[in-house]
Structure 1
Amino acid sequence: MSNLTTIILTHNEELNIEECIKSVMRISQRIVVIDSFSNDKTVEIARKMGAEVFQNKWINYAKQFKYGLERACIETKWVFRLDADERLTKESSIELERLCNENEDTDVNGIIVRFEVNFLGRKLRHGGIYPFKKLLVFKYGYGDIEDRNMDEHIVLTEGRTVELENDSLHYDYKDLNFWIDKHNKYSSREVQDYLESLSEKNDGPKLDKSAKIKRIIKFKIYYKLPIGLRALLYFVYRYFIKLGFLDGKEGLIFAVLQAFWYRFLVDSKIFEYNKLLKR
């Protein structure tokens, strides 16, 4: 076991929460679930699994996680932020435990977790999806989360990061209706971040290199392209240049939904704001 508190954010996650908690039970001293008033069995299952459960009204991921850090009164060396549709494998949990224990007194203050994404029952290995990397584990007091509506990242105040070599799993058991509803909400929050970015002078100076490059490309290049064209180019990049077509029908559906539905929906809402709501 590591000197680690795992914080899981939930809302109606009865299909995912049990396996998520199981995957971190062996290495976590505490498992804390921050639930935004689920109306299914999420809370019941989490408590049955031994997790501490607190409930808080949902605003966005960043504010919910900040609430979790404060409400949980963290006393462990490390904190692990995990979503309910994410889980460690046996190999990644052993490696994470080792890295936490080995680096309690080093300048390694953050650990990047890499995920294998499963979409409609298929592992996506192309299209720039694999591996999906996030800084999710950090020493308490040396990490914070960006106050953003979408695409929020954990940032370190000092120290360096290391990356897991073994994959963890991003596997959501919900259907496409849920995916579409979730990404519709995401698109509205992404528009908020886009509008706020127009007045930002310094964009994420404390982000890790990979996240910083992606942020620059997104706001300094992608959003400078004409509406419509940028969604098309995004699809071409994901599906053809990054070989998303090798992931079969699932890869095609994922690329189309990401580009021509989600990214174009964000663009449409920006257009709507500039034409109608800004007046």
Structure 2
Amino acid sequence: MNKNFSFIILTYNEEVHLPRLLESIKALRAPIFVLDSGSTDGTVDIASEYGATIKTNPFLNHPKQWDFALRNFEITTPWIIGLDADQTLTPSLFKLLNDFKTEDYNDVNGIYFNRKNFFQGKWIRFGGYYPFYQLKMFRKGVGFSDLNENMDHRFITSGKTIIWKNGYLLEENLKENDINFWLAKHERYSDLIAEEEVERMKNIRAQSLKPALFGNPDEQRAWLKRLWWKLPLGFRPYLYFSYRMIFKLGILDGSTGIKFHYLQGFWFRRLVDRKIRKLKIRSGL
């Protein structure tokens, strides 16, 4: 059994994804912990077949679900890797993990993986979606889930972090091939984000990370978010979509990629802004 790291995976009706992920990590022989949200398909049975330790917890949002996982699984390895069920390891990332030895990283508390995101079979290479670094591996007891976010999830760790630029995760949600699934999911997400932004207006929430344009990848995104919150509602989706399509070359992603950028970068952002306006009226802001 791998003594360097363990995997934690969040699931909900992931029978189409989970075998793909578990096959990509099984040869690492690392402990696997699955936190399920009450799946009604074969997800839990699949996790059991691969020897995973399984717990169930009702889903509120991703940050809270990850927080529950980190607090309730009995992890004995010094490192933890947190993965989504629709992600898989590439051979390059597998090799980095297979060669990983804790003693070689004594001065490091967190490692960023590079993600390749796919939408309806198309790699979204432009529009700011690649390279995209996510803190996925961190020391147990040092890394934690950022509960100051309502929907966007990130792990945070103190101390030194490094980036494995060639350590790729592939992320493709096959359920999003049905556009109605994508739309329904983002309808729910828009409620969470609108609620979060209004709470920030009321100073109920504050950023956990110090925004820094030249900091680590998460500090850079925190800086951009702080800028985003200052932009006028209703105008910012147009600005953001133009930025992705023109300055970040999203137009080069082809018809499927352009559809993704439109839905995620414009339609979704306009939906959020409309819901923020309604919440502001109710709150008297």
Distance of 2:240 and 2:118 partners within structure 1: 20
What are the superposed Cα offsets for residues 37-77 of structure 1, whole Å, 9 maximum, x if unpaired?
01111111111222221111111112211221222111101
Partner of 1:107: 107
Partner of 1:261: 267
Say if 1:79 and 1:138, in contact at 8 Å, map to a contact too. Answer: yes
- Quickly say closer, same or farther: Cα 1:184–1:104, change in 2 above 3 A: farther
What are the superposed Cα offsets for residues 133-176 of structure 1, whole Å, 9 maximum, x if unpaired?
10010010121111121223211133333424232201111122
Distance of 2:69 and 2:161 partners within structure 1: 24
Please provide the CA RMSD for this pair. Answer: 2.0
Say if 1:2 and 1:97, in contact at 8 Å, map to a contact too. Answer: no
From 216, 221, 227, the counterpart of 2:223: 216
Distance of 2:204 and 2:159 partners within structure 1: 23
Number of matched residues?
277
Partner of 1:235: 241
Partner of 1:117: 117
- Quickly say closer, same or farther: Cα 1:151–1:201, change in 2 above 3 A: closer
Alignment of 1:154-173 (within 5 A): 154-173=155-174
Quote the offset at 1:82 in angstroms: 0.2
Partner of 2:207: 203
Quote the offset at 1:184 in angstroms: 1.4
Say if 1:77 and 1:104, in contact at 8 Å, map to a contact too. Answer: no
Distance of 1:103 and 1:182 partners within structure 2: 42
- Quickly say closer, same or farther: Cα 1:35–1:202, change in 2 above 3 A: closer
TM-score normalised according to structure 2 size: 0.90
What are structure 1's unaligned runs of at least 5 residues? none
- Quickly say closer, same or farther: Cα 1:191–1:95, change in 2 above 3 A: same
Quote the offset at 1:179 in angstroms: 1.4
Distance of 1:167 and 1:158 partners within structure 2: 23
Quick one: which amino acid aligns to residue 144 of structure 2?
D
Distance of 2:104 and 2:67 partners within structure 1: 23
What are structure 2's unaligned runs of at least 5 residues? none
Distance of 1:236 and 1:29 partners within structure 2: 44
What are the superposed Cα offsets for residues 230-266 of structure 1, whole Å, 9 maximum, x if unpaired?
0011110111111111111011101110123111111
Quick one: which amino acid aligns to residue 236 of structure 2?
R
- Quickly say closer, same or farther: Cα 1:105–1:255, change in 2 above 3 A: closer
Say if 1:5 and 1:74, in contact at 8 Å, map to a contact too. Answer: yes
Quote the offset at 1:194 in angstroms: 1.2
Quick one: which amino acid aligns to residue 66 of structure 1?
D
Distance of 2:105 and 2:217 partners within structure 1: 26
SS of match in other structure, 1:194: helix
What are the superposed Cα offsets for residues 83-121 of structure 1, whole Å, 9 maximum, x if unpaired?
0011111221111332x3154551111110111111111
Say if 1:157 and 1:206, in contact at 8 Å, map to a contact too. Answer: no
Quote the offset at 1:28 in angstroms: 4.5
Partner of 2:92: 91
Q: Which moved more, 1:32-41 or 1:154-163?
A: 154-163
Distance of 1:28 and 1:154 partners within structure 2: 24
SS of match in other structure, 1:108: coil
Say if 1:87 and 1:169, in contact at 8 Å, map to a contact too. Answer: yes
